[in-house]
A and B are shown apart, each in its own frame.
Chain A
Amino acid sequence: MDIKDTIKRMKDGNLSRRDFNKALAAVGLTTAVMPMTTKSSQAGDEAIYYTWSGYDIPEIWPAYVEKHGAAPETPIFGDAEESFTKVRAGFQVDVMHPCSNNVPRWKSAGILQAIDTAKLSNWNDVVPALQSVPGTQFDGEQWFVPFEWGQTSVTYRTDLYDLEGQEESWGMLWNEKYAGRLSIIDAAEDSWWCAAIYAGIDTKNLKEEDFVTVLDLLKKQQDLLRFRQSDMTTVEQALASGEIVAAMTWNSSPTALLAQGVPVKFANVKEGGLTWVCGVVLTADAPHYDKAHDLIDAMLGTDCGKFLVEDYGYGHANGKTFDLVSEEDLAARGLAKDAMTILASGTFLEAQTEEIEQKINRDWGDLISSM
């Protein structure tokens, strides 16, 4: 059926029902088939990097694009635990982005495989102390490659939040004077532990009553919160506008806000911040094994590292990155050349047993529903 012919017949009101159905079927079939074929060929191509929002940009993997001419696919999650449950439920990805504390649990759940460090050209430049973060090496094999490190602390507006001569503390997020102008991270992984640090409990030996103490503290805080942010853009905008005066954040938010000229400070809390090393793991049935290694290697490159330090304010795993960044820039971001001085200054986020993780996550569920 010629298209001009069809149009003419349509104009004359001459199109038979059969012709019309035929055209409709052709359109239907085409639309039904087209996206399927293009999508599947795309999905087959590049490594799939399941990550936090903010790591889904080209600056993270320059060497990968150079080698393969395309960017990896980047589905994003708001909470590492969420990514864990989704992958367990069958979501297929190559590389995931947890922090070191998750690795033993994820490994025993059978969703991971060891990473072949011989395939990583930058591996030997990775700071040795980070290579051997507890819970990431098993039987001489590397199951986790460190990528970024930093801490969780309080970011506050120096012009709107009055310390009144007090020391900077986690208590700033419990200050009733600023009710409705505070926020925390919508993840137990950060918020539960920060409350635990504030409570002053021994985080290495958690006891039954400690969980009650922390949950009570979090419940008390709940009335004072404007929101719990699951993405950092929300809290950065709120801090910039003055809607929020103090918030729980990672290093990246104050770095971004200071670059925009917003008067904020990343507090050096007296109880110590929550310090962590995050990085990448390889899934057990990674569909793009080699490309996944290329992606990991690209992330360890100093070009990525320089961006990570300067724009996001995180430490990078590659020791050579720090030769490219000035001492002042490091100090301004709460970083240092020696990762361990920073990581040891706070409470390090360590791997917990499955029981403890589950208890924390279920307590968090109770907390969310208790308002």
Chain B
Amino acid sequence: MVDRSLALPDSVAKKTTGPFQWLKSMYLRSEPFRGYVMLSPTLLIMIVALGAPVLFLFVVSFWTQHLLDFTPGFVFDNYITFLEKGNYQNLLWRSIKISGFVTILTVLLAYPMAYFIAFRVTKNKLIWIILITVPFWTSYLLRVFAWKIILGYNGVVNSGLAELGWIEAPLEFILYNPFAVVVTLAHAWAAFAILPIYVSLEKIDRSLLEAATDLGDTPRQRFFRITLPLSMAGVVAASLLVFIPTVGDFVTPALVGGPKGLMIGNLIQLQFAKANNWPMGAALSVISLMAITGIVCAFLWFTKRIRTQDL
């Protein structure tokens, strides 16, 4: 390409002076500009598909809706409604609690798996990693439905236990409640926790572990003094990757949650659809966005403090 443009006759080459030339010299001279140009496709998509809608959501949350018509303005009615309605607050609180449990459960289950692959698997690591992503080859909705069948009244768990003669009647407390939501989400997001933890474990310098053993650490001491602190970055990343998206999840609670297992996402969906109250839905979205941001900041501050204290 470059060779050919150089070979162009002078008459053609002259046409590319002016603004184009200016852009080109700017591109060559300024490093930030070069950076932005390289970023530009992604940046553009982010601005159009994420930045603008979030901004619009924020603006709409201060509007009101009377019947089918929006009343643009800047009033706090929706936020006041949220503060007045205890059940809305409870629902947000429940969503955060469910996601908290999901995060803890997922990270606890993911850590041993990641540890095993990082330290025990020596051959064909790639195959192991691919195997972990296998559940992701089916759609999210199908995975949720699969859990509905596993936990169902005549499901795998119940008929299995009945076959073994351990239960008389099917267990009903395993589906249509927050427990089912936690189990389903923990499975659905497992790979998002395993992969970052695996990467941080993989990066640990093995000579540090040898040194710790040489200096008399037991395997357990070695884990808590070397392995865990050094893989903390992965654990934090995994926690965030699981916690942030699950708070707003609405498919899982809608399918396996029953009346007691609904989350804030279901209420937001309801406001935009049946209840015909977009501004309220927008306000609820903004509130949960801020709540999540607050929790994440607190979490990061807390983990950072712990890590710096250790050193």
Contacts and interface: CB of A to CB of B under 8 A. Distances in A.
A41 interface: no
A207 interface: no
A225 B260 CA distance: 9
Nearest to B257: A227
Interface in A72-108: 79, 81-82, 85-86, 88
B68 A364 contact: no
- Secondary structure at chain B's binding surface: helix, strand, loop or mixed? loop
B133 to A, nearest CB: 21
Given A82-B274, A243-B172, A371-B259, A109 B91 contact: no
B273 A366 contact: no
A346 B260 CA distance: 32
A21 interface: no
Interface stretch (B189-197, B264-272, B301-309): B264-272
B104 interface: no
Nearest to B172: A180
Given A226-B258, A354-B68, A355-B67, A369 B91 contact: yes
Contact count band on B = 20 to 34
B111 interface: no
Contact of A361 (B88, B154, B170, B276): B276
B176 interface: yes
B176 A227 contact: yes
A81 B276 contact: yes
Given A358-B67, A365-B267, A369-B88, A81 B274 contact: yes
Given A238-B153, A361-B274, A364-B274, A226 B176 contact: yes
Leading 5 A-B pairs by shortest Cβ distance: A243-B153, A365-B275, A370-B87, A82-B273, A81-B274
18 contacts: A82-B274, A85-B274, A187-B274, A188-B274, A227-B176, A230-B254, A241-B154, A243-B172, A358-B276, A362-B277, A364-B274, A365-B270, A365-B271, A365-B277, A368-B259, A369-B87, A369-B262, A371-B259
Interface of B: 67-68, 85, 87-88, 90-91, 152-154, 170, 172, 176, 254, 258-260, 262, 266-267, 270-277
Interface of A: 79, 81-82, 85-86, 88, 109, 180, 187-188, 222, 225-228, 230, 238, 241-243, 354-355, 358, 361-362, 364-366, 368-371
